Structure 1
């Protein structure tokens, strides 16, 4: 069965062109196109068709990509958000990741690279091209200093190891032999200690600082 995709972009010609390109991918299909975040929310509420992946532009009227990504993270955490934008500056990349985006591509990406990115996003849970990874690791480079100044318990370290996997919080709880509520408390405590907001941010921290090994 093909993975379902929704495109959210206020430039209709670009959105329709993307829809046509993705239509040639064997493992993916676009189920609908939205013009902004508000339009997406309305579609999700009316049609109740929640896609596997959302390709999300950043600069949109009414409700932009940052706000939309944050809303999706809260209301549909199982849907993977891939930012697809003309904006490749450090602030945009980091803000989208902190708001829950699990991938980031520029709109000049070659169709073959787009297909590869979607496949990796689906199978691995996240995808960042090399240029975006450099921004992420450069920005989170301060995390090593944070680790030295913040006490991270052994159980929190164990939890960090699992943040980079596809395991749900319930499955992580099973691995750690504790309750899902306890796992959520580890997440909340670490987010507070490290000034992060999402599992993606925790995963980046875990990879950067060797907790994912």
Structure 2
């Protein structure tokens, strides 16, 4: 049987183009296209229209990709979500991962990469392009800090939770009831313990190890 797909994108021409491209992939079948997350929710009222994969645009009216991914994570966690974006933005990637997306693909990707991404999503459970792997996932451990012998203080764990958000370090310091300098000390300590150099790396580590739940 073919793996079923729903395309959620408010750009009709892009959605139609994706459907046409995927029609040439023997292992996959597009069930339907819809323009936003709210329309997808309506489709899901019919159990026969619940797909195995959702190709999900991020920027949409009514109910965007972030909100839709979160809803799918809470209500249909078995569905594989592949985010679609026009730009390789770190924060969008992190937010989509936090909201349950298992893949991320730029809309200017070659059809061959789309097929590769879909196959990887089904066979391996995830797909992230080279730019994401090299820039965002580099040096991020596959296992938890505890299992890796790394001991984190309660305050460092609290900082990791906030690192996933879009808050500035000053705003994080206000949440943690301490000075910005103290927050920077938590950051620097984590950089050293986890052998990282960027906040993006800390955010992905936090997501992979359950600090963002």
1:11 correspondence with 2:14: no
Secondary structure of the residue aligned to 2:49 is: coil
Q: Does 1:205 align with 2:171?
A: no
Tell me the SS of whatever aligns to 1:56: strand
| Alignment correspondent of 1:149 | 152
Question: Aligned residue for 1:53?
Answer: 53
Say how many residue pairs are matched. 163
How has the CA–CA distance of structure 1 residues 4 and 87 changed in structure 2, closer, same or farther, with 3 Å as cutoff?
A: same
Instruction: Say if 1:202 and 1:123 are closer, same or farther in 2 by CA, change over 3 A.
Output: farther
Where does the alignment leave 5 or more consecutive residues of structure 1 unmatched? 152-190, 207-213
Equivalent position of 1:195 in the other structure: 161
Structure 2: gaps (5+ residues): 165-203
Give the aligned partner of residue 178 of structure 2: none
For normalisation by structure 1, the TM-score amounts to: 0.68
RMSD: 3.1
* Aligned-partner SS, 1:109: coil
Deviations 1:125-169 (A, max 9, x none): 01111111234325958x869x43158xxxxxxxxxxxxxxxxxx
- Structure 1 residues 195 and 47: CA distance shift in structure 2, 3 A: same
Aligned to 1:211: none
Is the helix fraction higher in 1 or 2? 1
Q: Give the Å deviation of 1:194.
A: 5.9
In 2, Cα distance between equivalents of 1:97 and 1:137: 12
User: TM-score, normalized by length of structure 2?
Assistant: 0.68
Contact 1:56 1:84 in 2 (8 A): yes
User: For 1:99 and 1:29, how far apart are their aligned partners in 2?
Assistant: 25
Q: 1:106 to 1:150 in 2, by over 3 A?
A: same
2:9 & 2:52 partners in 1: Cα distance?
17
Distance 1:84 1:93 in 2: 10
Q: Deviations over 1:47-101 (max 9, x none)?
A: 5421110000000000000000000001000000000110311111111111100
Map of 2:94 onto structure 1: 94
Query: Contact (CA 8 Å) 1:150, 1:193: kept in 2 or not?
Result: no
